Amino acid sequence: MTKALDTSHLWMPFTANRQFKEKPRLMVSAAGMYYTTDDGRKILDGTAGLWCVNAGHCHPKIVEAVQKQVAVMDFAPTFQMGHPKAFEAAAALAEIAPDGMNRVFFCNDGSEGVDTALKIALAYHRARGNAGRTRLVGRERAYHGVGFGGIAVGGIAANRKQFGPGLAATDHIRHPLNLEKNAYSRGLPVNGAEMADELEQRLLALHDPSSVAAVILEPLQGSTGVIVPPAGYLEKIRAICDRHGILLIFDEVITAFGRLGTAFGADYFKVKPDMIVCAKGLTNATVPMGAVIVKQAIHDTLMEAAPADSIEFFHGYTYSGHPVAAAAAIATLEVYKEEQLFERAAAISPYFEDAAHSLKGLPLVKDIRNLGLVCGIELEGISGKPGARAYDLFNQAFWDKGLLIRTTADVVALSPPLIINKAQIDQMFSSIADLLKSIK
Ligand SMILES: Cc1ncc(COP(=O)(O)O)c(C=O)c1O
C-alpha cells in the first residue's frame, strides 16, 4: 500500500486549506483534455487548468522543447547577459502581437506582468517630463494578480482587506455587469457602453487627467465571474485615454492566446492598448512565464531618455526570459500556429455558446454569459453563505461527474482548452445540467 500523503506542510494558495485537507482533490497526471486523479479517475478539464493550458495538457512538442532545453542550458542570467532563446521568444511573441506592439519584457507570471506594466507606465511619463502622472486606474471586480500593484488596481475586496492601504494613488471605475438589462446575453451585451464615460466624467474630473498615468483593464473580466464588456465600451475607454494622454493597459492574462478565438483580446475587440500583459497560455502553463508587450514608441521613449551606457529601466526578475520558459514559449506559439488553435477556438465557439445557453431555465440559474471559449453561469446563492452553492456544484462535478469547473462566488466559470471537441462540450454542459436538476 502507498504511504498516505502528508498534506500538513503545504500552505495552499487561494484555498480553504482545512476544508481541502479533509478530502483532498488530487491530480497525478494529465494528457490532452483530461486529468487523472490519485484514485485513477479521468477528469475532463473544463477550465484549462487555471485558464492556461490552451493547447491541452502535456503537448508532446512543448514537452520535448522543455526537456531538451533543460538538458542543454538550465539557466543563464539576462541581467547584462543574454541567451538566444529569450530573444527568439520575444520575437515570436511580437510577431503575433498587434501592429507596433513589438517590444517584450519578460517576467514569471501575470502578477509580475501587471506590476511591470504599471511601472513602465510611471517610468514612461517621467521620461517625458510628466513625473506628476502617478495615479493608476483600475476597475471594480478586476483581478490583476496579487502583487501590491495588482491588488491596488484590482477590485476584489477580499484580496485587499488583509493587506493594509497598499498603493495610495489609485482609483476604480465600476464594472459593467448588469443583469437587469443584459442577462442571458450571447456574446457582447448590447447595453452599457456608457459605463465607460464615468472614467472621464467622474474619475478624471475628480483627479484631473494630468495626474493619471494609466488605466488597466481586463478586456473580459474572467476571475470575478466572466464579465463581458458591452459593445462599444472598450472603444470608448480607448478614446478617453487618447484624449487625455493616459496609457491603456490590457491585462490579457486570460484573454490572450486564443481564448476569444484570436491571438489577443485586443484583436477580437479591435481596440489597441499601449501595453498587453500576458502569461498563462504563453507557455501553455508548462513553465511559468509572463510578458508585457509594449508599443515600440513607449519603449523607445525610455531608451532615449537615458544616457546610452546606462540602464534605462531599473526593473527585472532573476528569471526574466528563463531559458526553459523561453523554449516552452517558442514551442507553444508554434503549436498554436501549426494546429491553428485560435481559429479552431473561433470555429467551435458558436457550438459552445449554444450548449452554455441550453442551461437557461434550469433551477437556480440567474444568468449565462459567454464569449469565445469562456462562459459564466451565475447561480442563485444560498442565503448567508456566499459561494457555497457554486462550491457544492464544483465538488459534485469533480467527484460525481469527472469534470473540473471553476467557481468564483456563485458563478461557475468554464474555459476549456482550445482543443475541446463537440462531444466534450456536450459532456461538460450535460453534467452541469444534471447537477443543477438534482439540487434540492
Ligand atoms: C486577468 C489576470 N491578471 C493577472 C492574473 C495573475 O496571474 P498569476 O496568477 O500568473 O500571477 C490573473 C490570474 O488568473 C488574471 O486572470
pLDDT in tens, 190-214: 999 999 999 999 999 999 999 999 9
Residue 144 Cβ contacting ligand 1 at under 6 Å = yes
Q: What is the pLDDT of residues 358-411, one digit of tens each?
A: 999 999 999 999 999 999 999 999 999 999 999 999 999 999 999 999 999 999
Q: What is the pLDDT of residues 250-264, one digit of tens each?
A: 999 999 999 999 999
Q: How many Cβ atoms sit within 10 Å of the Cβ of residue 436?
A: 17
Distance of CA 111 from the midpoint of ligand 1 (Å): 6
Residue 111 Cβ contacting ligand 1 at under 6 Å = yes
Residue 252 Cβ contacting ligand 1 at under 6 Å = no
Q: How many Cβ atoms sit within 10 Å of the Cβ of residue 195?
A: 20
Residue 139 Cβ contacting ligand 1 at under 6 Å = no
Q: Nearest 5°: phi and psi at 215? A: -115, 135
Predicted local distance difference test score (pLDDT) of residue 95: 98
Distance of CA 66 from the midpoint of ligand 1 (Å): 23
Q: What is the pLDDT of residues 276-320, one digit of tens each?
A: 999 999 999 999 999 999 999 999 999 999 999 999 999 999 999
Q: pLDDT exceeding 90 applies to what percent of the chain?
A: 98
Residue 340 region by backbone torsions, left for phi larger than 0, else alpha for psi between -120 and 50, else beta: left
Distance of CA 24 from the midpoint of ligand 1 (Å): 24
Q: What is the mean pLDDT of the chain?
A: 97
Residue 385 and residue 393: Cα distance in Å, rounded?
14
pTM, two decimals, is: 0.98
- What average pLDDT does range 175-179 have in this prediction? 97
Whether 241 contacts 273, CB under 8 Å:
no
Q: What is the pLDDT of residues 49-107, one digit of tens each?
A: 999 999 999 999 999 999 999 999 999 999 999 999 999 999 999 999 999 999 999 99
Whether 233 contacts 196, CB under 8 Å:
yes
- What average pLDDT does range 230-243 have in this prediction? 98
Among residues 293, 283, 292, the alpha carbon closest in space to that of 324 is found at 283
Distance of CA 305 from the midpoint of ligand 1 (Å): 31
Is a pLDDT exceeding 90 seen at residue 3?
Answer: no
Domains of the chain, with CATH numbers? 17-55+340-438 (3.90.1150.10), 63-338 (3.40.640.10)
Residue 250 Cβ contacting ligand 1 at under 6 Å = no
Q: What is the pLDDT of residues 139-173, one digit of tens each?
A: 999 999 999 999 999 999 999 999 998 898 999 99
Among residues 431, 116, 143, 386, the alpha carbon closest in space to that of 275 is found at 116
Residue 142 Cβ contacting ligand 1 at under 6 Å = no
DSSP secondary-structure letter at 26?
A: -
| Helix (H), strand (E) at residue 1 | none
Grid cell, residue 318, equals 532573476
Among residues 421, 334, 430, the alpha carbon closest in space to that of 32 is found at 421
Residue 192 and residue 196: Cα distance in Å, rounded?
8
Length of the chain: 440
Cβ burial, residue 54 (10 Å; 0-12/13-18/19+)? buried
Residue 15 and residue 7: Cα distance in Å, rounded?
13
The residue whose CB lies within 8 Å of the most ligand 1 atoms, and thus the one to mutate among 280, 286, 287, 408, is 280
pLDDT confidence bin for 4, thresholds 50/70/90: confident
Q: Nearest 5°: phi and psi at 116? A: -60, -45
Which residues does 413 contact at the CB level (< 8 Å), separation at least 6?
47, 222, 223, 225, 226, 374, 375, 376, 405, 406, 407
The residue whose CB lies within 8 Å of the most ligand 1 atoms, and thus the one to mutate among 223, 259, 275, is 223
The residue whose CB lies within 8 Å of the most ligand 1 atoms, and thus the one to mutate among 53, 111, 116, 252, is 111
Distance of CA 417 from the midpoint of ligand 1 (Å): 17
Is a pLDDT exceeding 50 seen at residue 1?
Answer: no
Q: What is the pLDDT of residues 328-348, one digit of tens each?
A: 999 999 999 999 999 999 999
pLDDT confidence bin for 2, thresholds 50/70/90: low
